[in-house]
Structure 1
Amino acid sequence: MVRNMASPSDRATPPAVALRGAQLGFGGRPLFTGIDLPVAKGDRMCLVGRNGSGKSTLLKALSGEVDIDAGERFVQPGARIAYLPQDPRPPADQLVFDYVFAGLPPAPEGIPRDHLVEAALAGLALDGDRSMGTLSGGEARRAALARALVSEPDVLLLDEPTNHLDLPTIEWLEQELLRSEAGLLIISHDRAFLRRLANRTLWLERGELRRLNGGIDEFPDWADRVLAEEEAQAHKLNRRIAEETRWLREGLTARRKRNMGRVRALLGLRRDKAERIKRPEGLKLDAGDATRSGSLVLEAIKLSKTYTDDRGGEKQVADDVSFTVRRGDRIGIIGRNGAGKTTLLRMLLGREEPDSGRVKLGFGVEPVYFDQKRAQLNPDDSLWSTLCPGGGDTVTVQGKPRHVVSYLRDFLFADRQATAKVATLSGGERNRLLLAKLFAQPHNLLVLDEPTNDLDVETLDLLQEELADYDGTIILVSHDRDFLDRTVTSIMAVEGDGKVREYVGGYSDYVAERARTETDAGGIAAGRTGRPAKPAAEKPKARATKLSYKDARELEQLPDRIAGLEAEIAKLEAALADPDLYGKDPKRFERETARLAEAQAGLAAAEDRWLELEALREELEGVS
C-alpha cells in the first residue's frame, strides 16, 4: 500500500514506468504488497529504508529485472528505462568502449556518436580499450553507469551509484544528472548526493511505501512523526481489542452465533496488531569506551612510498611526508581512486612497509581496522564462528560476556542467521557483521576504510552518532561528504605525486580553504606578471602602527559583504527548497545551485579575511 503523507499531487506528466498493486515475496515471506509506484520524466526521487527492507528488489521490479507475484508493471510505449544494479555483471569478452556504446539509443545512419561514449568514459575515469573481464568490481560498476548515462533514458533507476566513486567523480556525476531531463529514482547512503538531486522521498518500511513531498533532510523528523502517529493508533487498537475481547468473553453463546461477523472483525484487529508489532527494533551500535593510551597515537616520519598499479604503472603515494596523530584526533583521508589512500592507511598500521621513513606507534595504542574489501570475513564461516572463532557461544564485549545470538540481534541479525554462512549476507549486512566483530575487541584507535558503503541511512546516522561520542582516535577514508562533515575535525588530502596535505575542519571546510588558497595563488601569480617591482630602499621601513588605508577600508566593508552573502545564501536556499523548481525551470535550478556553492565559498573566505585583518589591527594597535 502506498501512503501519500504529503498533499496529493496531480501528475502533469504521465509516468514512463509504473507499478500498480505490486506484490513480491521470497520463500513465502512478502517483501511488499499492494504498492503503486509511478515514475515520470523529470521526477527527482530517492528511495530509503532499512537494509533488507526490499529497496533493491523494488527497483529491480520497476526495471523489469524481476517479475512481480501480483499486480501490474506498466511502461509507456517508446519510453527508455535505464537501470544501474548494485552488482552489475557485464559480459567479460567485450571492450569497455563497445559495452558502453551498446547503450546508445538508435540514431539515423551516419551521425557520429563516439564522442558521447568518450565523454562518459573520461568523466568516470575508464579506459575504453580495456576488456570488461579485466575490470575490478568498482570499475565494472562505473562502466555500467556510463552505459546507463549515454542511453538518454526517460527514467534512470540508480542503486547506490556513488559506491566506489571518488569525490571528483561523484561531483561530475551530480552535474550530469542535474543536466539530465530523465526521471530519477535513487537508492543511496550519500546524503549530500541525495540533497542535490532529489526533492521527494519514498520510504519502504515493513512492506509499505510512504511518500514525502520533500528531500532527505526532512526525512528524519517526518519519519519520527509517522512512527509516533502509529504508536498512538496502536494504543487505540489495543483498547478496542480489549473491549471486543471482553464482549466476546461475556456474551451468550446464542449472541455469539448471531454476531460471527463481529468475532471475525476481532480476529482481524488482532492480525493488524500482529503486523504492527513486527517492526524490527533499531540497531544497537556501540563502539564502547576506548582503552587508555598515551597522548601520542602515532607519528609518521618522512614517509615515501611508490607502488605499481594493476596496469603496471608506477604511482607515488607519499614523498617525504611527516605528520603526528594525537589522542582524540578525528582525521578524514580523501583523494582520487588510485591515489593511495588505502596504502597510506596500511603503512600507518604497519601492514605495509614504506620505501623510506618510518611510523612510530604510541604507547598503549590498540587499533582495529575496517577494510573496505571486508577481507577479515571468511565467506565460508558462519556468523557465529566469525564472532566466536575459538568455539563456544559467548562474545566478550567491553569486558562483559554476551551470548553470540543476543549480540547479533544488536546488529539487526535474525536468530536464524547466526548459523548461516557469511557468503549469504548482503553488502550492508557484511558491513554490520564486521563492525560487530571489531567493536567486540579492545581498541582506542578506529581505522575505517570506506565504512559507509552499502549502509542504509538509519544505520549511517547511528554510526555517525557513535563516532561522535567515541572517546578514542579515528582515522577514516570516505567519499561521503556529509559523513566527513559530521565525523572528522581535519582532512588529509592525498593529492597525487606524493603530496599529502592536512586541512582543518570537515569536507566543506576543505573545499572552502582550497578555493581561498587557489584564489590567493592566482592573485600572486597575476601580480608577478605585472611591472617589475621597484628595488627596495636601503633604509629599513619603520614598523607600522596601524592598518594601511587599503586594509582598513577592506575591514570596514567586510561586515556588509558578509551580511550580503548571508542574505543571498538564505534567498537561494529558499528558492531551491521548492520541490517543483527543477520540473518548472531546470536551467534556473542548475544556475542557482552553482551560485549557492559560490556564495558559500565566498562567505567562508570573507569571514576568514575579516578574522585575519581584525587580528592584525589588534596587533598593530597594541604596538602603538
Structure 2
Amino acid sequence: MNLLSVENISKSYGERVLFSDISFGVNKDQKIAFVAKNGTGKTSLLNIITGKDIPDEGQVVSRNGLHIAFLAQEPDLSADLTVEETIFATDNKILKIIREYETALENPDDTEKYQKAFEQMEIHNAWDFETQYKQILFKLKLDQLSQKVSSLSGGQKKRLALANILISKPDLLILDEPTNHLDLEMIEWLENYFAKENITLFMVTHDRFFLERVCNEIIELENGKLYSYKGNYSYYLEKKEARIAAEKASVEKAKNLYVKELDWMRRQPKARTTKSKSRIDDFYIIKEKAHQRRKEHKVQLEINMERLGSKILELHQVSKSFQSKKILHKFNYTFKKGERIGIIGKNGTGKSTFLNMITQSVKSDEGKIIVGDTVKFGYYTQSGIKIKPEQKVIEVIKEFGDYIPLAKGRQISASQLLERFLFDRKKQYDFVEKLSGGELKRLYLCTVLIQNPNFLILDEPTNDLDIVTLNVLENFLLDFPGCLIVVSHDRYFMDKIVDHLFVFRGQAEIEDFPGNYSDFRVYEDSSPAPEKEKQQNTDKASKKSWKTGNSQSKLSFNEQKEYGKLEKEIQKLEEEKLAIESLFSTSELDNEQIGEQSEKLQQLLEKIDEKTERWFELSAKMEG
C-alpha cells in the first residue's frame, strides 16, 4: 500500500541546485534510509515531505488522513511544559484515556469516575499501551517526568521528541539523524524496537550498523540522480560497487566510440544530409557520456608527522570528581606508540572530561598526567569551530596550516586536503555561512588534521557526517601512524578504527577491553558478569519506583489474574535465560552458534524486562 509519493520535485537556493526532478514512493512497512553527501539537501527533502517547506517544482502526494511524525535534528518543544505534559499534549486517544485513569487513581474516593476510567482502559486495551509508553520513557532515560523542558539539555530534548513520536504510533515516521545524542545502550534498544515493530520509516542516518539492522531499502542521491537498493547496508555496498563498475565500463566504451565518431565529424563536408545530422546529434550524446567523471579524490597519505619519543602520555593515580559524581579514581595507564583506543559508555560517565584532562584543559583532583615532549595533540571536540563573518572555506583552513608534509619530501596542500574531504575547488571559495551542519563538521575536521598532529583525539567525530565522508575519514585514520583516541557511538566506525576499548561504566569504573566494539558486544551478551546482574537489579528497582501515582489502587479481578500469570512467565523466561548462559560457559560453540544464541538471549532479556516492568507496576498498586 502506497502511503506517500514524491513526484518530480526540485529545490534550489539561488544558483545552488540541491536536487532536480527526483521521484520515489514510500509503501506501508518499508524501512527506507535516504543517503547523500552533506550539503546535497537531505534535510531540505525531509522538510518538503513533512510540509515544512515547498519544492520549486513537483509535488508530494500522501494518502488521505495519513498520520506523519517527524523527528527533526533540532526538536520544536514547548519550554513551559514538563516532560509528562509534553507526552500527553498530543491527539493520541489512548494517551488521553490513560491520563484520565491516572487522574482517577489520584482521587480514589470518586468511585464513579474511577469505574468509568477503568472501563475505558478495558475497552481500548490501554493497559499494554501504558506499559509500552513507560518502557519507552524508561529506556530513553526520561524518568524525571516533572522536569521542565526548558531545563533539559539538547540531548534530552532530542530523546523526549523521539519518545513523543514513538508513543504517538504514526502511520509514517520520518527521522533526521535519530541516533545523535543517544548512547550505545539507547541506540541498540531503538534498533531492536524498529526491527521488530510493524512501522513505516523514512530516515536520514549515518549510523551504518543501524542501516544494516533496521532498513530494508536504501535510496541514494548522487550527482543529482536517485538510485534505489532493495536491501540493507551490506546489500547497498555490494550493488553500488557493481553499479560503479558497470558505469566505468560504459564510459570506457563511450570513450572508444567517441574517438571513432570524432574522426568522422572532422572528415564531414559542410553540406550534410538528414542522416548525417542524426549521427551528429548522437555524437554529442556520446561525447557527454565519454567525459563523465566520478568526483572521487583518493589521495594516499604517507604522513610525515613529527616522531613520537619513548615517553608519550602517562596517567599515574589520577582521580577526578564533580561533587558526588566520580569520573576517575586512582586511574593508571601508559600509552604506547601507535595505540588506537576507543572510548564507550553511557552519557554522563565522564568520557569528554577524560579527554579534557588528557589535553590539560581540565585539571585532575589527584595524581599526575605526564605528556611527552614530542607529543602534538590534534583535538576534535563536540563544540565545533568558531567562524569569523564572511570567511571563505579555504581561508578558515589556512589559518591553521598551509600543508601536511608527506614522505619523501612531498606535501599535500590545504586545498588538496579539502578536496579529499569532498570540498571541490568551487566549494572552497564559498562563504562558510552557506555550509550545512555536516559540512561545517567536515571543515572543522580538516582544520584539526592540517596541523599535522601525532596524537589525535576525536570526540564524537562522526556526528552529522555523511557516509561518504565517514569512509574518507576512516581511510585517513587507517593510514594515520600516530596515537589515536576516539569517543564515538558509531559502532561501525569503531570496529574499523580501534584496537581496544576503555569502557566507562560510571562512578570511576573503567574497564580496558582487548578488542573492538563487536567483540565487546559478544562478550557482554555471553558473560553474565556480577556487574551485569547488579545493573539489572538496579534497573528493576528503578522500574518499581517509576511512577508512584499507580500505587493508590488495589488490583482489579483481571489484574490479579494477570499478576499471577506474570510471575510464572517471568520464572520460565529466567530458566530459559540460565540455560542459554550455561551453554556459553560449558559448550564449545562456533561463531554462527554464538551469534544465534546471543540473539536468543537478547530477545529473552527484552521479554523479561517488559514483563518485570508490568509486574512491578501491579505489585506497586497491590501494596497501595
1:163 corresponds to 2:180: yes
Q: TM-score, normalised by structure 2?
A: 0.75
1:501 aligns with 511
1:491 corresponds to 2:501: yes
Deviations 1:12-32 (A, max 9, x none): xx1211212333333244433
**Residue 142 and residue 286 in structure 1: after superposition, are their counterparts in 2 closer, same or farther (change >3 A)?**
farther
8 Å contact kept, 2:305–2:405: no
Across the aligned residues of Structure 1 and Structure 2, the Cα RMSD in angstroms comes to 3.3
Q: Secondary structure at the match of 2:226?
A: strand
What is the rounded CA distance, in whole Å, between the counterparts of 1:482 and 1:436 in structure 2? 22
Offset of residue 520 of structure 1: 6.7
Deviations 1:575-602 (A, max 9, x none): xxxxxxxxxxxxxxxxx98328689xxx
Q: 1:73 aligns with which of 35, 60, 66?
A: 60
Offset of residue 243 of structure 1: 4.3
1:3 aligns with none
**Residue 64 and residue 518 in structure 1: after superposition, are their counterparts in 2 closer, same or farther (change >3 A)?**
same
Which amino acid letter does the alignment assign opposite residue 600 of structure 2?
A: R
8 Å contact kept, 1:292–1:364: yes
Select between 515-524 and 286-295 the one with higher mean Cα deviation.
Answer: 515-524
Question: What percent identity do the matched residue pairs reach?
Answer: 31
Select between 368-377 and 259-268 the one with higher mean Cα deviation.
Answer: 259-268
8 Å contact kept, 1:283–1:411: no
What is the rounded CA distance, in whole Å, between the counterparts of 1:353 and 1:379 in structure 2? 33
Which amino acid letter does the alignment assign opposite residue 504 of structure 1?
A: P
2:465 aligns with 455
Q: 2:297 aligns with which of 279, 282, 288?
A: 282
Q: 2:398 aligns with which of 388, 391, 395?
A: 388
2:200 aligns with 183
Tell me how many residue pairs correspond in the alignment: 524
**Residue 217 and residue 117 in structure 1: after superposition, are their counterparts in 2 closer, same or farther (change >3 A)?**
same
Select between 248-257 and 47-56 the one with higher mean Cα deviation.
Answer: 248-257
Offset of residue 518 of structure 1: 3.2
Deviations 1:256-282 (A, max 9, x none): 5675454444444445556x33x4223
Considering fraction of residues, name the structure with more helix: 2
Which amino acid letter does the alignment assign opposite residue 599 of structure 2?
A: A
Q: 1:50 aligns with which of 37, 56, 74?
A: 37
Deviations 1:53-85 (A, max 9, x none): 333333333333322233331111222122222
1:32 corresponds to 2:58: no
What is the rounded CA distance, in whole Å, between the counterparts of 1:364 and 1:108 in structure 2? 61
Offset of residue 153 of structure 1: 1.3
Deviations 1:275-312 (A, max 9, x none): x33x422364858244212334212112221226xxxx
What is the rounded CA distance, in whole Å, between the counterparts of 1:141 and 1:379 in structure 2? 29
What is the rounded CA distance, in whole Å, between the counterparts of 1:93 and 1:178 in structure 2? 34
What is the rounded CA distance, in whole Å, between the counterparts of 1:266 and 1:194 in structure 2? 42
8 Å contact kept, 1:294–1:363: yes
2:599 aligns with 594
Select between 443-452 and 51-60 the one with higher mean Cα deviation.
Answer: 51-60
Offset of residue 105 of structure 1: 3.0
What is the rounded CA distance, in whole Å, between the counterparts of 2:603 and 2:310 in structure 1? 39
Deviations 1:98-124 (A, max 9, x none): 334334534596443884655433322
2:126 aligns with none
1:305 corresponds to 2:331: no
What is the rounded CA distance, in whole Å, between the counterparts of 2:529 and 2:417 in structure 1? 52
What is the rounded CA distance, in whole Å, between the counterparts of 2:586 and 2:532 in structure 1? 25
What is the rounded CA distance, in whole Å, between the counterparts of 1:108 and 1:495 in structure 2? 35
1:99 corresponds to 2:86: yes
8 Å contact kept, 1:41–1:181: no
Which amino acid letter does the alignment assign opposite residue 40 of structure 1?
A: N
8 Å contact kept, 1:387–1:395: no
Q: Secondary structure at the match of 2:86?
A: helix
Offset of residue 162 of structure 1: 0.8
Q: Secondary structure at the match of 1:326?
A: coil
Which amino acid letter does the alignment assign opposite residue 170 of structure 2?
A: P
What is the rounded CA distance, in whole Å, between the counterparts of 1:124 and 1:287 in structure 2? 43
Q: What runs of 5+ residues in structure 1 fail to find an aligned partner? A: 1-13, 309-313, 525-556, 573-591, 600-624
Which amino acid letter does the alignment assign opposite residue 208 of structure 1?
A: K
What is the rounded CA distance, in whole Å, between the counterparts of 1:327 and 1:109 in structure 2? 60
1:292 corresponds to 2:307: yes
What is the rounded CA distance, in whole Å, between the counterparts of 1:285 and 1:149 in structure 2? 45
Offset of residue 241 of structure 1: 3.9
What is the rounded CA distance, in whole Å, between the counterparts of 2:390 and 2:367 in structure 1? 39
- In the TM superposition, what are the counterparts of 1:343-354 in structure 2 within 5 Å? 343-354=353-364
Q: 2:77 aligns with which of 74, 77, 90?
A: 90
What is the rounded CA distance, in whole Å, between the counterparts of 1:39 and 1:80 in structure 2? 14
Q: 2:365 aligns with which of 355, 360, 368?
A: 355
Q: TM-score, normalised by structure 1?
A: 0.75
What is the rounded CA distance, in whole Å, between the counterparts of 1:89 and 1:286 in structure 2? 43
Q: Secondary structure at the match of 1:165?
A: coil
What is the rounded CA distance, in whole Å, between the counterparts of 2:5 and 2:333 in structure 1? 55
8 Å contact kept, 2:459–2:488: yes
1:141 aligns with 158
8 Å contact kept, 2:422–2:469: no
- In the TM superposition, what are the counterparts of 1:534-549 in structure 2 within 5 Å? none
What is the rounded CA distance, in whole Å, between the counterparts of 1:99 and 1:283 in structure 2? 48
8 Å contact kept, 1:285–1:462: no
Offset of residue 457 of structure 1: 1.7
2:579 aligns with none
8 Å contact kept, 1:101–1:117: no
1:219 aligns with 236
What is the rounded CA distance, in whole Å, between the counterparts of 1:16 and 1:174 in structure 2? 23
1:562 corresponds to 2:588: yes
Select between 226-235 and 135-144 the one with higher mean Cα deviation.
Answer: 135-144
8 Å contact kept, 1:40–1:155: no
Q: Secondary structure at the match of 1:479?
A: coil
Q: Secondary structure at the match of 1:67?
A: coil
Which amino acid letter does the alignment assign opposite residue 67 of structure 2?
A: R
**Residue 251 and residue 237 in structure 1: after superposition, are their counterparts in 2 closer, same or farther (change >3 A)?**
same
